[in-house]
Amino acid sequence: MATQRTGSKVFEIIKAGGWVMVPILLASVVASAIAVERFWTLQPKRVLPENLVAQAWQWLRAGSLDEKKIHALRIGSPLGRVLAAGLVNRAHERAVIKESIEEAGRVVAYELERHLNTLGTIAAISPLMGLLGTVFGMIRMFGALKLNGVGNPTALSGGIAEALITTAAGLTVAIPAMYFFRFFRGRVEMLVVNMEQEALKLVEVLNGQREQDPSP
């Protein structure tokens, strides 16, 4: 019963906010989905598996590196995709290896940032949608004021409620969306920097500039 009453109250609040609540609610659903998906995708252990460069170095030393291992490396993780690009060109000079790794790194970095622009857009437009609802609520209030005068507060309350509800809803969506946008952008930057460091280790290994095990 308590759950039903709570659900009924929430529905009444949404209804009182007017049609602007529909895009605000849709924005909240999309933002939540993106946040959950990015939390899963941008886990450091998924993007930067430990000792991956060391594993590739051991394969090279043992002479067991083949196309099957490179393919498994490529599909295993974003870092593996970058390393595989270098390993495919291991017979070439340093400049070619580095260029192939950089090209793969740019593609991977772009994929790591997937959906973040959408999340940032939601953070930016949600307050504006709330403001739009506020404007409609004020128009509704002044329309009621014109028809009924100041002696009927009930007629004015609908417009006031619409204005306040949409403003609050827009900010409620925008604040966490902006937080997660900044959070994930920072995580992507951290992952890309670490990926570049790991890729540099591989370049050094392939050029004989690192004689010891490249694991941390």
The least confident of 95-109, 126-140, 151-165, 176-190 is: 151-165
What b/e sequence results for 71-82 when a residue is b if at least 16 CB atoms lie within 10 Å of its CB, and e otherwise? eebbeebbbbbb
Mark 92-102 as b/e (b = at least 16 C-beta within 10 Å). eeeeebbebbe
- List C-alpha distances in Å: 50 to 56, 59, 193: 12, 16, 15
Domain coverage including residue 190: 18-124+176-206
The answer to whether the pTM exceeds 0.75 is yes
- Give me the helix-helix angle, 94-112 and 153-206, nearest 10°: 160
pLDDT at 66: 84
Question: Quick check: is 101 in a domain?
Answer: yes
Q: Is residue 199 part of a domain?
A: yes
Q: Residue 212's pLDDT is what?
A: 47
Domain presence at residue 97: yes
Give the per-residue pLDDT at 189.
94
Domain count, the chain: 1
- Residue 23: inside a domain, yes or no? yes
Q: Is position 81 within any domain?
A: yes
Mean pLDDT computed over 190-198? 91
